[in-house]
Amino acid sequence: MSTRSAPRRLPRRPASGLAERWTTVDGVDVFYRESVSPPDAPAMMHVHGFGLSGRYLLPTAERLADDFHTLVPDLPGFGRSGRAPHGLDIPDLAHAAARFLDDRGIEKVTLVGNSMGCPVILEFAHHYPERIERAVLVSPAGGVHNQPLRRAVGQLSRDGVREPPRMVTVAAPDYLRFGVPSTVRMFRALTQYPSLSRLLDLRIPTLVVVGERDP
């Protein structure tokens, strides 16, 4: 039986030029956006950050949609997608991402992530190295740099006031939908994730982008 946070509905107005669709992964309804590029284009999936949906990644995804078969899912528990019966951690999200690609018939992919999306990509590469062409990690989160938990909370607070004001209209509904219990559980899992050691274990072409003012 499908696990849903709300009935399947598409947004009233498309947020981008990508097609907006639903599928089911492990019994959970997953909302995603997909380019209408030729089927022989290489695949690229954009992986969103903590508490957010994939909506804020759409400007980048649209720019690349002419060259890649582009996918921007809301991972289970995030955005419009339904919730799993139990809370998901970073490894669970990586496996869910792999099964989403299975559902779309995609064997190999370039992964582009931001914040929490980077640990999800690192875990994906750890379990499925043969399925990832290359990785782009923008402002990776998680691991020793975010420990202890109180330090991570302070970092998140400083980061929040540096975001452009237009992000509020995107982030606020996503965080409200994500909820406080999920926020606490996932934030703790993120800070405990071994991001650095997973990064050093990578054996694929990888681009890491880190801002000098990123806390």
Residue 122 predicted with pLDDT over 70 = yes
Residue 9 predicted with pLDDT over 90 = no
The per-residue b/e assignment along 140-161, b for 16 or more CB within 10 angstroms, e otherwise, is bbbbeebeeeeebeebbeebee
Contacts of 61 (CB under 8 A, 6+ apart): 16, 18, 33, 35, 44, 46, 54, 70, 72
Q: pLDDT digits over 14-53, tens only?
A: 677 899 999 999 999 999 999 987 668 999 999 999 888 9
Residues 102-121 have a mean pLDDT of 96
Mean of pLDDT over the chain: 86
Q: pLDDT digits over 62-88, tens only?
A: 999 999 999 999 999 999 999 888 778
Identify the bridge partners of residue 132 per DSSP, sorted by sequence position: 109
DSSP 109-175: EEEEEEETHHHHHHHHHHH-GGGEEEEEEEEE--SGGG-SHHHHHHHHHHHHTTS-THHHHHHHHHH
Q: Are 171 and 99 in contact (CB under 8 A)?
A: no
Amino acid 85: pLDDT? 80
- How far is residue 183's CA from residue 112's CA, in Å, rounded to a whole number? 22
Amino acid 130: pLDDT? 96
Residue 148, preceding peptide bond in cis (omega within 30° of 0): yes
